[in-house]
Structure 1
Amino acid sequence: MLKIKNSLSIGPAAMVAAAFIGPGTVITASLAGANYGYALLWALLFAMLASIILQEMAARLGLVTGRGLGENIRDALQRPLWRWPAMALVVSAIVIGNAAYESGNLAGASAGLKLLTEAGAEPADTGTLWPIAVAAIAAALLWSGSYRTIERALIALVALMSLAFLLTFALSRPDMGALLSGLLVPSLPAGATLTAIALIGTTVVPYNLFLHSSSVSQKWQSAEQLPLARRDIFFSIPLGGLISIAIASTAASAFFAQQLSISSASEMARSLEPLFGTSARYCMGVGLFAAGISSALTAPLASAYALCGILGKSPDLKAIHFRAIWLAIIVIGALVAIQGIRPLRLIWFAQIANGLLLPIVTAFLLWTMNSSRLGLYRNAWWQNALGLLVLVISVVLGGRSLLAAFGWL
């Protein structure tokens, strides 16, 4: 474990924000705003609150036990009958799933770079140079083996992403009355059910629980530092939620009122230029790049933490096995990204695995947080009540993921 003498309370939760604000979130929020205006902003607000609830539990678990969620799962499931299925689920959903999604992260960052450097290029054409360059940057940062370096890089990317998307939001001059109504008054326009679920699903994801519990135990060393971890959560997760809300609101302001349609984040960025000037396109390009490369860092890192934990291996960032896991994720993602194809079968498989894993991990987290070994840091009744509410939602999300994977939705 790395010993870090740092009183700053921003770090591990910023990684979580960097993880869930990826190209997939940018696309989902953009399409939600363009197609339904401000009506689905309440789903993003709920997702932010649900994420705070679960990530606080994950952080508390990591601080009190000094171990990540993967290690705690392994310790609790001693019987092979339970351990092997759990390991299979983690490998499937976290490792294979993140390998599939890594290609989208690299392609998203590449699309952002192309928006900034090649104004006439087609949005869907990311070529081969940019994905390789982004993959190399991610690999170099992770290879450093320094938690502090990785954390600072991700904090910088979150700051850059925040500035870019919030500036784009300001340039789009949104209807603040409609925005507040969409946040505080839940509504479900015709045909918007799956979009609302998708907005929640892009924020409340299982691999962030593995990432957060492990990274917290890297930054802080005792349960007495829980207030610092909570301060980190209550700043970083709402910031991530605010970015998602800004993206959806920008699309609502630019496209919904104009009855214009978009099919991708890159197309949205290019379409903003005639409406609000070149600065809007450049801000969107910077935001898309930061979202892509930050997720390109966190997806391999979370995979390594999760797999090492569940297999009982050391989560040392400089260990050969740790580096081999995240490097494999990056290489697979880069190979798929430079081909310009979507890894449909891998994503289909990842949907099934994530649909199974999210409610299971949420239930295990609740069970663990009521263990007597946590002493004073066990869940209070109201934390259990909130956790059970999120568990019910995760079951709905898991069911939707499975149904969608089999083409039944």
Structure 2
Amino acid sequence: MTRTGPVMASQGQARGHPSGMVVLDVAIPLRRHVARVAPWFGPAFVAAIAYVDPGNFATNFTGGATLGYTLVWVVVAANVMAMLIQSLSAKLGLVTGRDLAELCRDNLPRPVSRLLWAQAELVAMATDLAEIIGGALALNLLVGVPLPAGGLITCVVAFALLRLHQRGVRRFEAAIAGLLGVILLGFVYDTLRAGTDAAAVAGGLAPSFGGPDGVVLATGILGATVMPHVIYLHSALATSRAPAAADPAVRRRAVRWQRADTLLALGVAGLINLVMLTIAARLFFGTDTADTESLAGIHAGMAAVLDHPAALAFAVALLASGFASSSVGTFAGQVVMQGFIGRSIPLTLRRLLTMAPAMAVLVAGADPTAALVWSQVLLSFGVPFALAPLVWLTARRQIMGEHRNHPATTGVAAAVAVLIIALNALLVARSV
């Protein structure tokens, strides 16, 4: 008789098998592993919603419908950049227990810190412009709600989601992750209906702009993907895990798990972005389908080329994006103000202030899709102002200790900042 059966049974991890053999039950250690790892996951899923906000819908669908697969490489590159940037932001908050805005206030000259705060507030308004317009447009497409009324409804729902955060950060994270899931499912369905062209997607990985319009759209895609306000936010979200990572050994594991959290969440967001562009390229590029440079036209085109369920999935995904990203944007605004100047204002007042530009656009009857695209171009100009201090702080031993950036990481992150600045400069040069 072997000792295998008794030993396994004594460990309390064995169960009977119909054949009489003793089988190791892996469910218990698996559950324990999940329970140990799960608390570190969540912040990146809140950050990820900003990478699939209505601005992404506008830039990706417009890019695909206008230039086909030409800008696939921009979507892929932007999401790889986002993974690096958000991982640094999360590490900063987890290791220091403080967010990026707070550390900027403490480690930069006061005039520089105030300048960063002022531009960050402008970025927050541009962010809300995209998110409120997106939610309003989705409600209009789904049930015919007038755009101004849809903007108000989006603001109310976003405010309700923010209230969840006051009941506990995990509830807020779960709600936002659920809405991210709705967006993913919507585009999984549309992809199955539209089909894919793998060869064309692979061809789009070769860098090209396809003309002056491609530069504007590429900058918009970059601004819609690498979001400056969420660079600040992710560090603040990660601070909720900092007390549990006080022990150095635990902190080292926590840094690895937050990196996994970021890669998973941003991987989902990147897939959604890529699918947006490829669906538009496959269905509308080079066709005579009308008005495919607007989201309303995309919605109508999907109903005509595919079917009404496909158009419904698109509109529901857009609505989930507008609701979730608007609440995340307002939360980020609070983080920015509290961190840079040590003050905050009531959420209701902030909601009213940041919604004003979006409501003005909706009431004025401006083209909502054009407003979305140009708001994302504006956001791309804000990225270096958040990225430069993030790279500098995470490279400092005095701030990060043993978790400071490897020189290669700092070099790559600095190159990303230079690339974004160069793309912005190219846009300005071609616009004058």
User: TM-score w.r.t. structure 1 length?
Assistant: 0.85
Q: Given the alignment of the two structures, is residue 88 of structure 1 paired with residue 123 of structure 2, yes or no?
A: no
Instruction: State how 1:4-403 maps to structure 2 within 5 Å.
Output: 7-77=38-108, 82-91=109-118, 93-118=119-144, 126-144=146-164, 145=166, 146-183=168-205, 185-191=206-212, 192-221=214-243, 222=245, 223-224=251-252, 225-260=254-289, 261-313=291-343, 321=345, 323=347, 326-329=350-353, 331-332=355-356, 335-336=359-360, 339-341=363-365, 357-373=382-398, 374-399=400-425, 403=428
**How many residue pairs align between the two structures?**
384
Higher-Rg member (1/2) = 2
Q: How big is each residue's C-alpha offset from its partner over 1:379-403, in whole Å with a ceiling of 9 and x where there is no partner?
A: 11221121122111121244357x3
Change (3 A) 1:190 1:285: same
- Give, as a single letter, the amino acid of the residue that structure 2 aligns with 1:233: T
Tell me the distance in 2 between the aligned counterparts of 1:99 and 1:342: 17
Deviation (angstroms), 1:337:
5.8
Deviation (angstroms), 1:186:
2.5
SS of the residue 2:345 aligns to: helix
Tell me the distance in 2 between the aligned counterparts of 1:186 and 1:265: 26
Change (3 A) 1:90 1:392: same
Tell me the distance in 2 between the aligned counterparts of 1:160 and 1:270: 21
- Give, as a single letter, the amino acid of the residue that structure 1 aligns with 2:265: S
Tell me the distance in 1 between the aligned counterparts of 2:313 and 2:378: 35
Query: Which 5+ residue runs of structure 2 have no aligned equivalent?
Result: 1-35, 246-250
Q: How big is each residue's C-alpha offset from its partner over 1:268-297, in whole Å with a ceiling of 9 and x where there is no partner?
A: 011111111111110110111112112211
CA contact under 8 A between 1:355 and 1:399: conserved in structure 2?
A: no
Tell me the distance in 1 between the aligned counterparts of 2:183 and 2:276: 11
CA contact under 8 A between 1:106 and 1:135: conserved in structure 2?
A: yes
Query: Which 5+ residue runs of structure 1 have no aligned equivalent?
Result: 119-124, 314-319
Change (3 A) 1:188 1:334: closer
- Give, as a single letter, the amino acid of the residue that structure 2 aligns with 1:229: Q
Tell me the distance in 2 between the aligned counterparts of 1:357 and 1:200: 11
Tell me the distance in 2 between the aligned counterparts of 1:331 and 1:187: 36
Tell me the distance in 2 between the aligned counterparts of 1:90 and 1:57: 20
Tell me the distance in 2 between the aligned counterparts of 1:297 and 1:361: 20
Deviation (angstroms), 1:356:
5.9
- Give, as a single letter, the amino acid of the residue that structure 2 aligns with 1:282: L
Identity value in percent: 24
Tell me the distance in 1 between the aligned counterparts of 2:222 and 2:420: 9
- Give, as a single letter, the amino acid of the residue that structure 1 aligns with 2:41: I
After superposing on structure 2, the runs of 4+ consecutive aligned residues of structure 1 that deviate more than 4 Å are 340-344, 346-357
Tell me the distance in 2 between the aligned counterparts of 1:350 and 1:17: 18
CA contact under 8 A between 2:55 and 2:373: conserved in structure 1?
A: no
Deviation (angstroms), 1:343:
11
Tell me the distance in 1 between the aligned counterparts of 2:153 and 2:101: 31
User: TM-score w.r.t. structure 2 length?
Assistant: 0.81
CA contact under 8 A between 1:354 and 1:398: conserved in structure 2?
A: no
Q: How big is each residue's C-alpha offset from its partner over 1:181-203, in whole Å with a ceiling of 9 and x where there is no partner?
A: 213x3233233222223222211
Change (3 A) 1:182 1:335: closer
Tell me the distance in 1 between the aligned counterparts of 2:41 and 2:62: 31
Tell me the distance in 2 between the aligned counterparts of 1:325 and 1:6: 38
Tell me the distance in 2 between the aligned counterparts of 1:37 and 1:348: 17
Tell me the distance in 2 between the aligned counterparts of 1:105 and 1:288: 10
Q: How big is each residue's C-alpha offset from its partner over 1:234-261, in whole Å with a ceiling of 9 and x where there is no partner?
A: 1011111111110101100110142545
SS of the residue 2:389 aligns to: helix
- Give, as a single letter, the amino acid of the residue that structure 2 aligns with 1:370: A
Deviation (angstroms), 1:13:
1.2
Change (3 A) 1:335 1:190: closer
Please give the root-mean-square deviation of Cα atoms over the aligned residues, in Å.
2.9
